[in-house]
Amino acid sequence: MDLQQPRTGAATLVEMLAYGVSHGMRVGWFMSHYLAAARLAPRARWRDAPDPKSLPGSRAILRDLAALLRRDWDNIRAGRYKPPFDLAVNPARALRASARFFADLPAVHLRRRAQETQEIFRSGDPEAAYPRYYLQNFHHQTDGYLSRRSAELYDFQVETLFSGGADAMRRQALVPLGAHLRTLERPRLLDIACGTGRFLAFASDSFADVAVAGIDLSLPYLGQARRLLGRWGGACLVAGNAETLPFADSSLDAVSCTYLFHELPRAVRARITAEMARVLKPGGLLVFLDSIQPGDHPPYDGLVERFPRSLHEPYFADYCAQDLPALFSDAGLSVTLTERAFFSKLLAAKKQ
Ligand SMILES: C[S@@+](CC[C@H](N)C(=O)[O-])C[C@H]1O[C@@H](n2cnc3c(N)ncnc32)[C@H](O)[C@@H]1O
Protein backbone atom coordinates (compact mmCIF):
# COMPACT_ATOMS: atom_id res chain seq x y z
CA MET A 1 0.00 0.00 0.00
CA ASP A 2 1.47 3.36 -0.97
CA LEU A 3 0.07 5.46 1.87
CA GLN A 4 1.73 6.31 5.22
CA GLN A 5 4.15 8.70 3.51
CA PRO A 6 3.73 12.08 5.24
CA ARG A 7 2.56 14.62 2.66
CA THR A 8 4.90 17.57 2.29
CA GLY A 9 5.57 20.51 -0.03
CA ALA A 10 3.46 22.85 -2.14
CA ALA A 11 0.99 20.14 -3.17
CA THR A 12 0.13 19.63 0.48
CA LEU A 13 -0.48 23.33 0.94
CA VAL A 14 -2.93 23.28 -1.97
CA GLU A 15 -4.60 20.16 -0.56
CA MET A 16 -4.81 21.72 2.88
CA LEU A 17 -6.47 24.82 1.42
CA ALA A 18 -8.86 22.66 -0.60
CA TYR A 19 -9.70 20.63 2.52
CA GLY A 20 -10.20 23.76 4.64
CA VAL A 21 -12.39 25.58 2.11
CA SER A 22 -14.41 22.49 1.27
CA HIS A 23 -15.06 21.61 4.91
CA GLY A 24 -15.81 25.20 5.93
CA MET A 25 -18.49 25.25 3.23
CA ARG A 26 -19.64 21.77 4.15
CA VAL A 27 -20.19 22.64 7.82
CA GLY A 28 -22.00 25.88 6.87
CA TRP A 29 -24.18 24.05 4.34
CA PHE A 30 -25.26 21.18 6.60
CA MET A 31 -25.56 23.30 9.73
CA SER A 32 -27.85 25.71 7.89
CA HIS A 33 -29.99 22.73 6.85
CA TYR A 34 -30.06 21.54 10.47
CA LEU A 35 -31.17 24.97 11.70
CA ALA A 36 -33.73 25.41 8.91
CA ALA A 37 -35.17 21.95 9.60
CA ALA A 38 -35.35 22.70 13.34
CA ARG A 39 -37.29 25.85 12.56
CA LEU A 40 -39.59 24.43 9.89
CA ALA A 41 -40.21 21.13 11.68
CA PRO A 42 -39.55 21.69 15.40
CA ARG A 43 -39.19 18.62 17.58
CA ALA A 44 -41.70 18.02 20.37
CA ARG A 45 -40.77 19.24 23.84
CA TRP A 46 -40.75 16.48 26.46
CA ARG A 47 -42.06 17.14 29.91
CA ASP A 48 -39.06 15.43 31.51
CA ALA A 49 -36.62 16.79 28.93
CA PRO A 50 -33.13 17.48 30.30
CA ASP A 51 -32.55 20.96 31.66
CA PRO A 52 -31.23 23.02 28.68
CA LYS A 53 -28.42 24.16 30.99
CA SER A 54 -27.20 20.56 31.10
CA LEU A 55 -26.78 20.56 27.30
CA PRO A 56 -23.59 21.74 25.60
CA GLY A 57 -23.86 25.08 23.84
CA SER A 58 -23.53 25.34 20.07
CA ARG A 59 -20.07 26.93 20.47
CA ALA A 60 -18.75 23.92 22.38
CA ILE A 61 -20.16 21.59 19.70
CA LEU A 62 -18.60 23.68 16.93
CA ARG A 63 -15.22 23.64 18.70
CA ASP A 64 -15.47 19.86 18.98
CA LEU A 65 -16.41 19.56 15.30
CA ALA A 66 -13.40 21.74 14.41
CA ALA A 67 -11.20 19.38 16.50
CA LEU A 68 -12.57 16.41 14.53
CA LEU A 69 -11.77 18.10 11.22
CA ARG A 70 -8.26 19.00 12.42
CA ARG A 71 -7.74 15.37 13.37
CA ASP A 72 -9.08 14.29 9.98
CA TRP A 73 -6.63 16.60 8.21
CA ASP A 74 -3.72 15.45 10.44
CA ASN A 75 -4.45 11.85 9.43
CA ILE A 76 -4.51 12.83 5.75
CA ARG A 77 -1.26 14.79 6.06
CA ALA A 78 0.40 11.87 7.85
CA GLY A 79 -0.61 9.61 4.92
CA ARG A 80 -2.93 7.41 7.01
CA TYR A 81 -5.67 7.82 4.40
CA LYS A 82 -6.38 9.91 1.34
CA PRO A 83 -8.15 13.28 1.23
CA PRO A 84 -11.90 12.78 0.70
CA PHE A 85 -12.64 11.96 -2.94
CA ASP A 86 -15.59 14.38 -2.91
CA LEU A 87 -13.81 17.58 -1.82
CA ALA A 88 -14.97 19.31 -5.01
CA VAL A 89 -18.73 19.65 -4.76
CA ASN A 90 -21.01 19.65 -7.79
CA PRO A 91 -23.34 22.61 -7.04
CA ALA A 92 -26.23 21.28 -9.15
CA ARG A 93 -26.09 17.94 -7.33
CA ALA A 94 -25.90 19.68 -3.93
CA LEU A 95 -28.96 21.79 -4.75
CA ARG A 96 -30.90 18.74 -5.93
CA ALA A 97 -30.05 16.93 -2.67
CA SER A 98 -31.15 19.96 -0.67
CA ALA A 99 -34.46 20.14 -2.58
CA ARG A 100 -35.07 16.42 -1.88
CA PHE A 101 -34.33 16.96 1.83
CA PHE A 102 -36.82 19.83 2.15
CA ALA A 103 -39.45 18.08 0.04
CA ASP A 104 -39.33 15.11 2.43
CA LEU A 105 -39.24 17.16 5.64
CA PRO A 106 -43.04 17.64 6.04
CA ALA A 107 -43.62 13.87 5.88
CA VAL A 108 -40.92 13.25 8.51
CA HIS A 109 -42.41 15.99 10.67
CA LEU A 110 -45.96 14.59 10.46
CA ARG A 111 -44.68 11.11 11.33
CA ARG A 112 -42.80 12.52 14.29
CA ARG A 113 -45.81 14.53 15.51
CA ALA A 114 -48.07 11.48 15.21
CA GLN A 115 -45.37 9.23 16.72
CA GLU A 116 -45.87 7.06 13.66
CA THR A 117 -43.10 4.50 13.48
CA GLN A 118 -44.62 1.29 12.08
CA GLU A 119 -45.66 2.26 8.53
CA ILE A 120 -43.08 -0.07 7.04
CA PHE A 121 -44.33 -3.07 8.99
CA ARG A 122 -47.97 -2.37 8.08
CA SER A 123 -47.24 -1.82 4.41
CA GLY A 124 -44.61 -4.56 4.29
CA ASP A 125 -44.51 -7.32 1.71
CA PRO A 126 -45.44 -10.45 3.72
CA GLU A 127 -43.21 -12.51 1.40
CA ALA A 128 -40.14 -10.41 2.10
CA ALA A 129 -38.00 -12.00 4.77
CA TYR A 130 -36.90 -9.00 6.79
CA PRO A 131 -36.45 -9.20 10.56
CA ARG A 132 -39.34 -7.58 12.46
CA TYR A 133 -37.12 -4.98 14.18
CA TYR A 134 -36.01 -3.74 10.76
CA LEU A 135 -39.53 -2.88 9.52
CA GLN A 136 -39.77 0.49 11.24
CA ASN A 137 -39.38 4.13 10.33
CA PHE A 138 -36.05 4.62 12.07
CA HIS A 139 -35.64 8.38 12.69
CA HIS A 140 -39.18 8.67 11.20
CA GLN A 141 -37.58 8.32 7.78
CA THR A 142 -39.81 7.91 4.75
CA ASP A 143 -39.98 4.28 3.51
CA GLY A 144 -37.62 3.04 6.25
CA TYR A 145 -34.56 1.58 4.50
CA LEU A 146 -36.64 0.14 1.71
CA SER A 147 -36.83 2.58 -1.19
CA ARG A 148 -34.54 4.32 -3.62
CA ARG A 149 -35.92 7.65 -2.37
CA SER A 150 -34.77 6.79 1.17
CA ALA A 151 -31.35 5.65 -0.12
CA GLU A 152 -30.90 8.92 -2.00
CA LEU A 153 -31.78 10.97 1.09
CA TYR A 154 -29.87 9.05 3.74
CA ASP A 155 -26.36 10.51 3.44
CA PHE A 156 -27.69 14.06 3.31
CA GLN A 157 -29.86 13.49 6.40
CA VAL A 158 -26.97 11.98 8.38
CA GLU A 159 -24.60 14.80 7.44
CA THR A 160 -27.28 17.33 8.43
CA LEU A 161 -27.69 15.66 11.83
CA PHE A 162 -23.92 15.95 12.44
CA SER A 163 -23.45 19.36 10.78
CA GLY A 164 -21.18 17.91 8.09
CA GLY A 165 -19.06 15.76 10.43
CA ALA A 166 -20.41 12.26 9.62
CA ASP A 167 -17.90 11.25 6.95
CA ALA A 168 -15.00 12.65 9.00
CA MET A 169 -16.15 10.48 11.93
CA ARG A 170 -16.33 7.41 9.66
CA ARG A 171 -12.82 8.09 8.37
CA GLN A 172 -11.36 7.80 11.90
CA ALA A 173 -11.98 4.05 11.62
CA LEU A 174 -9.56 3.98 8.66
CA VAL A 175 -6.63 4.62 11.01
CA PRO A 176 -6.57 1.28 12.91
CA LEU A 177 -7.89 -0.46 9.79
CA GLY A 178 -5.05 0.84 7.60
CA ALA A 179 -2.40 0.01 10.22
CA HIS A 180 -3.67 -3.59 10.23
CA LEU A 181 -4.15 -3.99 6.47
CA ARG A 182 -0.69 -2.61 5.67
CA THR A 183 0.87 -5.65 7.34
CA LEU A 184 -0.92 -8.05 4.94
CA GLU A 185 -0.85 -9.03 1.27
CA ARG A 186 -4.07 -8.65 -0.74
CA PRO A 187 -6.19 -8.50 2.43
CA ARG A 188 -9.98 -9.01 2.45
CA LEU A 189 -12.32 -6.54 4.17
CA LEU A 190 -16.06 -6.93 4.78
CA ASP A 191 -18.23 -3.96 5.79
CA ILE A 192 -21.27 -5.06 7.79
CA ALA A 193 -24.48 -3.10 7.03
CA CYS A 194 -22.59 -1.08 4.43
CA GLY A 195 -25.63 1.09 3.62
CA THR A 196 -24.91 3.52 0.79
CA GLY A 197 -21.22 2.56 0.82
CA ARG A 198 -19.60 5.66 2.31
CA PHE A 199 -17.15 3.77 4.52
CA LEU A 200 -16.23 1.30 1.78
CA ALA A 201 -15.67 4.21 -0.61
CA PHE A 202 -13.11 5.81 1.73
CA ALA A 203 -11.47 2.41 2.35
CA SER A 204 -11.34 1.57 -1.39
CA ASP A 205 -9.88 4.97 -2.20
CA SER A 206 -7.18 4.78 0.48
CA PHE A 207 -6.22 1.09 0.41
CA ALA A 208 -6.06 0.19 -3.26
CA ASP A 209 -4.97 -3.45 -2.97
CA VAL A 210 -7.67 -4.52 -0.52
CA ALA A 211 -10.50 -6.75 -1.77
CA VAL A 212 -13.63 -5.12 -0.37
CA ALA A 213 -17.08 -6.56 0.23
CA GLY A 214 -20.23 -5.21 1.85
CA ILE A 215 -23.46 -6.71 3.09
CA ASP A 216 -26.77 -4.99 3.79
CA LEU A 217 -30.45 -5.91 4.04
CA SER A 218 -31.55 -3.02 1.83
CA LEU A 219 -31.47 -3.49 -1.93
CA PRO A 220 -31.94 0.24 -2.66
CA TYR A 221 -29.08 1.16 -0.31
CA LEU A 222 -26.89 -1.47 -1.97
CA GLY A 223 -27.84 0.06 -5.35
CA GLN A 224 -26.61 3.44 -4.12
CA ALA A 225 -23.40 1.80 -2.83
CA ARG A 226 -22.88 0.04 -6.18
CA ARG A 227 -23.12 3.36 -8.05
CA LEU A 228 -20.66 5.05 -5.68
CA LEU A 229 -18.13 2.20 -5.53
CA GLY A 230 -18.05 1.75 -9.30
CA ARG A 231 -15.38 4.43 -9.52
CA TRP A 232 -12.90 2.12 -7.72
CA GLY A 233 -13.78 -0.88 -9.85
CA GLY A 234 -16.65 -2.01 -7.63
CA ALA A 235 -16.96 -4.14 -4.54
CA CYS A 236 -18.60 -7.48 -3.87
CA LEU A 237 -21.96 -6.29 -2.52
CA VAL A 238 -24.28 -8.86 -1.02
CA ALA A 239 -27.94 -8.49 -0.07
CA GLY A 240 -28.39 -10.37 3.16
CA ASN A 241 -28.75 -10.44 6.91
CA ALA A 242 -25.57 -9.95 8.93
CA GLU A 243 -26.99 -12.36 11.54
CA THR A 244 -25.97 -15.18 9.18
CA LEU A 245 -23.03 -13.98 7.11
CA PRO A 246 -22.51 -15.83 3.82
CA PHE A 247 -18.74 -16.05 4.36
CA ALA A 248 -16.63 -19.00 5.47
CA ASP A 249 -15.15 -19.32 8.96
CA SER A 250 -11.80 -17.53 9.42
CA SER A 251 -11.81 -16.21 5.84
CA LEU A 252 -11.46 -12.42 6.27
CA ASP A 253 -8.63 -10.18 7.47
CA ALA A 254 -10.82 -7.32 8.66
CA VAL A 255 -14.47 -6.51 9.31
CA SER A 256 -15.87 -3.02 9.74
CA CYS A 257 -19.21 -1.95 11.12
CA THR A 258 -20.36 1.67 11.25
CA TYR A 259 -23.57 3.02 12.80
CA LEU A 260 -25.43 -0.29 12.92
CA PHE A 261 -25.50 -1.45 16.53
CA HIS A 262 -27.60 1.41 17.95
CA GLU A 263 -30.41 0.29 15.60
CA LEU A 264 -30.41 -3.33 16.76
CA PRO A 265 -32.13 -5.21 19.57
CA ARG A 266 -29.62 -6.67 22.04
CA ALA A 267 -30.03 -10.28 20.91
CA VAL A 268 -29.34 -9.27 17.28
CA ARG A 269 -26.22 -7.36 18.37
CA ALA A 270 -24.96 -10.55 20.01
CA ARG A 271 -25.67 -12.69 16.92
CA ILE A 272 -23.98 -10.24 14.54
CA THR A 273 -20.97 -9.93 16.86
CA ALA A 274 -20.63 -13.74 16.92
CA GLU A 275 -20.82 -13.78 13.11
CA MET A 276 -18.17 -11.08 12.74
CA ALA A 277 -15.87 -13.07 15.02
CA ARG A 278 -16.57 -16.30 13.13
CA VAL A 279 -15.62 -14.94 9.68
CA LEU A 280 -12.44 -13.18 10.91
CA LYS A 281 -9.15 -15.04 10.67
CA PRO A 282 -7.29 -15.45 13.98
CA GLY A 283 -5.48 -12.14 14.45
CA GLY A 284 -8.06 -10.45 12.19
CA LEU A 285 -9.38 -7.01 13.12
CA LEU A 286 -12.85 -5.62 13.78
CA VAL A 287 -13.17 -1.83 13.46
CA PHE A 288 -16.39 -0.62 15.01
CA LEU A 289 -17.84 2.88 14.97
CA ASP A 290 -21.14 3.95 16.48
CA SER A 291 -22.67 6.54 18.76
CA ILE A 292 -20.93 7.53 21.97
CA GLN A 293 -22.53 6.14 25.12
CA PRO A 294 -23.24 8.07 28.34
CA GLY A 295 -20.01 8.78 30.17
CA ASP A 296 -17.85 8.72 27.02
CA HIS A 297 -17.96 12.52 26.96
CA PRO A 298 -19.98 13.79 29.94
CA PRO A 299 -20.78 17.22 28.37
CA TYR A 300 -22.79 15.32 25.71
CA ASP A 301 -24.67 13.03 28.12
CA GLY A 302 -27.83 15.21 28.00
CA LEU A 303 -27.85 15.14 24.20
CA VAL A 304 -27.25 11.40 24.09
CA GLU A 305 -30.17 10.92 26.46
CA ARG A 306 -32.43 13.15 24.34
CA PHE A 307 -31.53 11.66 20.97
CA PRO A 308 -33.83 8.57 20.97
CA ARG A 309 -36.83 10.57 22.11
CA SER A 310 -36.99 13.15 19.37
CA LEU A 311 -35.94 10.72 16.64
CA HIS A 312 -37.39 7.22 16.55
CA GLU A 313 -34.43 5.13 17.70
CA PRO A 314 -36.12 2.30 19.58
CA TYR A 315 -32.94 0.43 20.60
CA PHE A 316 -30.70 3.38 21.33
CA ALA A 317 -31.27 3.46 25.11
CA ASP A 318 -30.41 -0.22 25.36
CA TYR A 319 -27.37 0.29 23.12
CA CYS A 320 -26.23 3.02 25.53
CA ALA A 321 -26.47 0.58 28.44
CA GLN A 322 -24.47 -2.18 26.76
CA ASP A 323 -20.89 -2.96 27.72
CA LEU A 324 -19.40 -3.22 24.22
CA PRO A 325 -15.94 -4.55 25.23
CA ALA A 326 -17.72 -7.34 27.17
CA LEU A 327 -19.97 -8.08 24.15
CA PHE A 328 -16.92 -8.36 21.89
CA SER A 329 -14.86 -10.31 24.40
CA ASP A 330 -17.68 -12.90 24.84
CA ALA A 331 -17.35 -13.53 21.08
CA GLY A 332 -13.55 -13.92 21.27
CA LEU A 333 -12.66 -10.38 20.19
CA SER A 334 -10.39 -8.39 22.51
CA VAL A 335 -10.58 -4.64 22.36
CA THR A 336 -7.25 -2.97 21.57
CA LEU A 337 -8.41 0.62 21.03
CA THR A 338 -11.24 2.86 22.26
CA GLU A 339 -11.46 6.48 21.16
CA ARG A 340 -14.08 9.19 20.86
CA ALA A 341 -14.50 11.18 17.66
CA PHE A 342 -17.13 13.96 18.05
CA PHE A 343 -20.42 12.05 18.58
CA SER A 344 -18.96 8.64 17.74
CA LYS A 345 -16.89 6.06 19.51
CA LEU A 346 -14.34 3.96 17.70
CA LEU A 347 -13.33 0.53 18.92
CA ALA A 348 -10.84 -1.87 17.38
CA ALA A 349 -10.83 -5.50 18.49
CA LYS A 350 -8.63 -8.46 17.50
CA LYS A 351 -9.78 -12.02 17.13
CA GLN A 352 -7.73 -14.12 19.52
C1 LIG B 1 -27.82 3.56 10.23
S2 LIG B 1 -27.53 2.68 8.74
C3 LIG B 1 -25.74 2.59 8.67
C4 LIG B 1 -25.25 2.43 7.27
C5 LIG B 1 -23.73 2.62 7.06
N6 LIG B 1 -22.97 1.62 7.72
C7 LIG B 1 -23.28 4.01 7.46
O8 LIG B 1 -22.17 4.15 8.00
O9 LIG B 1 -23.99 4.97 7.18
C10 LIG B 1 -27.96 1.05 9.19
C11 LIG B 1 -27.85 0.08 8.02
O12 LIG B 1 -27.95 -1.23 8.55
C13 LIG B 1 -28.67 -2.03 7.66
N14 LIG B 1 -29.10 -3.21 8.46
C15 LIG B 1 -29.87 -3.22 9.57
N16 LIG B 1 -29.98 -4.46 10.07
C17 LIG B 1 -29.22 -5.26 9.27
C18 LIG B 1 -28.90 -6.65 9.27
N19 LIG B 1 -29.38 -7.48 10.21
N20 LIG B 1 -28.11 -7.13 8.29
C21 LIG B 1 -27.61 -6.31 7.33
N22 LIG B 1 -27.87 -5.00 7.28
C23 LIG B 1 -28.67 -4.47 8.24
C24 LIG B 1 -29.72 -1.10 7.12
O25 LIG B 1 -30.30 -1.56 5.92
C26 LIG B 1 -28.93 0.19 6.96
O27 LIG B 1 -28.34 0.28 5.69
What single DSSP character describes residue 51? P
Q: What is the mean pLDDT of residues 215-241?
A: 96
> Who contacts 27 (Cβ-Cβ below 8 Å, separation ≥6)?
65, 69, 163, 164, 165
Taking the CA of residue 158 as reference, the ligand 1 atom at the shortest distance is 9
User: Which among 158, 260, 307 is the best mutation to test ligand 1's pocket, defined by most ligand atoms within 8 Å of the CB?
Assistant: 260
Q: What is the pLDDT of residue 76?
A: 96
- For residues 312 and 325, give the distance between their C-alpha atoms in angstroms, rounded to a whole number: 26
Q: How confident is the model at residue 136 (pLDDT cuts 50, 70, 90)?
A: confident
Q: Which residue's CA is minimally distant from atom 3 of ligand 1?
A: 259
C-alpha of residue 53 to centroid of ligand 1, in Å: 34
pLDDT in tens, 4-24: 777 777 668 899 999 999 999
- DSSP state for residue 340 in the 8-state scheme: E
The confidence score (pLDDT) of residue 47 equals 53
Q: Where are the alpha helices (DSSP H) in the chain?
A: 10-40, 58-77, 91-113, 119-122, 148-161, 166-172, 174-181, 198-206, 219-229, 266-279, 301-310, 316-321, 324-330
In this predicted model, what pLDDT tens digit does every residue of 322-346 receive, in sequence order?
A: 999 999 999 999 999 999 999 999 9
Write out the H or E segment, with its range, that includes residue 286. Answer: strand 280-291
pLDDT digits (tens, 9 = 90+) for 71-83: 999 999 999 999 9
Q: What is the whole-number distance in angstroms between the Cα of residue 309 and the centre of ligand 1? A: 20
Residues in the chain, how many?
352
pLDDT digit string (tens) for 91-131?
999 999 999 999 999 888 888 888 878 888 888 766 678 99
Q: How much of the chain exceeds pLDDT 90, in percent?
A: 77
Average pLDDT rounded to a whole number, residues 299-314: 86
For residue 48, is pLDDT > 60? no
Ligand 1 atom with least separation from CA of 170: 8
What is the predicted pLDDT for the residue at 56?
Answer: 84
User: How far, in Å, is the centroid of ligand 1 from the Cα of 321?
Assistant: 20
Kindly tell me if the per-residue pLDDT of 57 is higher than 90: no
How many other β-carbons are positioned within 10 Å of the β-carbon of residue 110?
12
Q: Give the residue, out of 130, 161, 162, 216, with the most ligand 1 atoms within 8 A of its beta carbon, to mutate for a pocket test.
A: 216
Mean pLDDT, the chain, rounded, equals 92
Report for 4-13, 144-153, 190-199: range of highest mean pLDDT: 190-199
For residues 90 and 85, give the distance between their C-alpha atoms in angstroms, rounded to a whole number.
12
> Candidates 174, 217, 262: which one to mutate for ligand 1, based on the most atoms within 8 Å of Cβ?
217
Q: Pocket residues for ligand 1 (CB within 6 Å)?
A: 134, 145, 170, 193-195, 198-199, 215-218, 221, 241-243, 258-260, 263
Lowest mean pLDDT segment, chosen from 38-42, 68-72, 298-302, 306-310: 306-310
Structure confidence at residue 11 (pLDDT) = 65
User: Ligand 1 centroid vs 261 CA: distance in angstroms?
Assistant: 9
Cα–Cα distance measured from residue 35 to residue 12, given in angstroms and rounded to the nearest whole number: 34
Ligand 1 center–CA 216 separation, angstroms: 6
pLDDT of residue 107: 86
- pLDDT computed for residue 333 by the predictor: 98
288 CA distance to ligand 1 middle (Å): 13
